[in-house]
Amino acid sequence: MATFRIAVLPGDGIGQEVTPEAARVLRAAAARAGHTLEFEEALIGGAAIDATGGPLPEATLALCRRAHAILFGAVGGPRWDDLPPDRRAERGLLRVRKELDLYANLRPAKCFPMLVDASPLKRSVVEGTDLMVIRELTGGLYYGEPRGVERQADGSARAVNTMAYTSREIERIARTGFEVARKRRKRLTSVDKSNVLVVSQLWREIVTRVAKDYPDVALDHILVDNCAMALVQKPTQFDTLVTENTFGDILSDEAAILAGSMGMLPSASLGPAGAGGGAVGLYEPVHGTAPDIAGKGIANPIAAILSAAMLLRYSLDMGAEADRVERAVLSVLTAGHRTGDIAGRGETAVGTRQMGDLVVGALEGGR
Ligand code: NAD
């Protein structure tokens, strides 16, 4: 039976409310499987600025480096919005991603049957949607050189960004795509713009080559414009999608609306393989610190709890426990329990802590 170190970084706002619930669920799930998790909490974001003057204390970074996985809440809020860019709360998160080389962003979009009507799309379109967008996170247009604005003598200007990828960068995100697809329904769709961009032509060539190592996964290719349409026309046709940074940024947000509520969306950012048997990763809800509801105890902890399930699956290689957490969430929702953001008219809403209790209870088989 193994012991794993989990860094817990709740951050700010509702991050401080939902992260403890996710940690409780993690602890209960691992205990059932006979494993021990050692949790160590550290400051990040606005909370760290207030306490130490900067958004990422060295002690926090050192803890992240030692950990098998990081359970993260959210950072930022109006209180820290006026600080100079390099000292803002979000910088802490960006630096952790960079320092740990977290190059693969996983964003599942699953439409829960009892929440279908919360989606802006028709029931007949979204029902049964269960897909995963994998976005390359450290390369491409957002980082490529040259970049910048050239001011001309005549007062006009020219701005440049560069979409650049090496074959090594493409190969490692492609491998993540195949590995993740293997843990799902074994279908991978690679998204590119190879009819126009040479970067995409290299992307397609490398992904096709890597596919030979994964004969159990069915691969297809789709152009990004076509994919954007297909996601809202027939999202059920997709299982796992893999794409470069900018396309993934846009498509993962588009896929997110299929699921209905911000409070239901987990995510993972994975780096190279680590000591836990899986990839070192940072797991966080997609939502932010929600200053409008922070401190009221009403935030939905399910996105954080489902992020904890991803942590079990991808960093600790505990797929069965991850399934169990997801089933526990489903059973609580099936029993009709809702937080305010997903409650329908006339339905009574439970608070953050109570929702955490319900999921832990379902997990332990008590309810
Ligand atoms: P947000 O996700 O915090 O909130 C958007 C809306 O969704 C709000 O009305 C909020 O109440 C609701 N909401 C979000 N999560 C919810 C939950 N779990 N339960 C119930 N309702 C929920 O986005 P925002 O308002 O644009 O940003 C607020 C702050 O969070 C900003 O400072 C922003 O920079 C920061 N932020 C941080 C991260 C991160 O740390 N990764 C991500 C996004 C935004």
Min mean pLDDT across 93-107, 262-276, 300-314 is at 262-276
pLDDT for position 275: 45
What is the SS3 assignment for 217?
coil
- Give whole-number Cα distances, 78 to 81, 85, 182, in Å: 5, 14, 42
User: CB of 299 closer than 6 A to ligand 1?
Assistant: yes
**Beta bridge pairs of residue 38:** 5
Token pair in block for residue 290: 């929600």
Dist CA 75 CA 12 (whole Å): 5
Give the predicted TM-score (pTM) of the model.
Answer: 0.93
Does the bond joining 146 to the residue before it have cis omega, within 30 degrees of 0?
yes
User: What are 4-58's pLDDT values in tens digits?
Assistant: 999 999 999 999 999 999 999 999 999 998 999 999 999 999 999 999 999 999 9
At 19, the amino acid letter reads T
Ligand 1 centroid from CA 273, angstroms: 30
User: CB of 291 closer than 6 A to ligand 1?
Assistant: yes
Phi, psi of 259 (to 5 degrees): -80, -15
Strand order in the sheet with 187-192: 36-41, 3-11, 69-74, 279-285, 266-273, 104-110, 130-136, 240-243, 187-192, 218-223
pLDDT for position 274: 55
User: CB of 82 closer than 6 A to ligand 1?
Assistant: no
Ligand 1 centroid from CA 301, angstroms: 13
Q: Is the dihedral angle over the CA atoms 66, 70, 73, 75 positive or is it negative? A: positive
List the catalytic residues. 142, 193, 225, 249, 253
Dist CA 90 CA 92 (whole Å): 5
User: What are 300-319's pLDDT values in tens digits?
Assistant: 999 999 999 999 999 999 99
Dist CA 109 CA 88 (whole Å): 29
For 147, the enclosing helix (H) or strand (E) is: strand 144-151
